[in-house]
Amino acid sequence: MKDMTNYLHRVTPDIIDTLKEGEIFVFGSNCHGYHGGGAALTAMRKFGAIYGQGDGLQGRSYGISTMEGVSAMKENIDRFIAFAKVHQELTFLVTRIGCGIAGYSVETVAPLFKGALKVENIHLPEDFWQVLLRVEE
């Protein structure tokens, strides 16, 4: 596996209760924006996610729809990565999207973030990095 040292500063904390200035909580959603559980509920209660909005920037959070299949999730992740590239002033803390209520494995979801490898303002969970760096070898 590639050395993870270069990415350690970009590991999302396991638990996010507060955000620093410029940080955005990135969570898995559904296309209808029914933020009823998991990180989506946290996003709505703490970070301004809007009930009824499934994707995109919402307060201090960003929703990525994960419930409509892997190919749709990949499109949504690509749109998120493009957004993050344009908004370098923000730091995006990606949670383990797709790996909770949506039911996908880290091995399925993490490679969908390959485009984020060189995007310095995107932070990913440690297990996503482990899979991505193994895939990159």
* Tokens 């933020």 -> residue: 35
pTM for this prediction: 0.93
CB 108 within 8 A of CB 71: no
- pLDDT tens, residue by residue, 42-64: 999 999 999 999 999 999 999 99
Helices (H) and strands (E) in the chain, counts: 4, 5
C-alpha to C-alpha distance for 92 and 90, rounded to whole angstroms: 6
pLDDT at 33: 86
Q: Is the pLDDT of residue 18 over 60?
A: yes
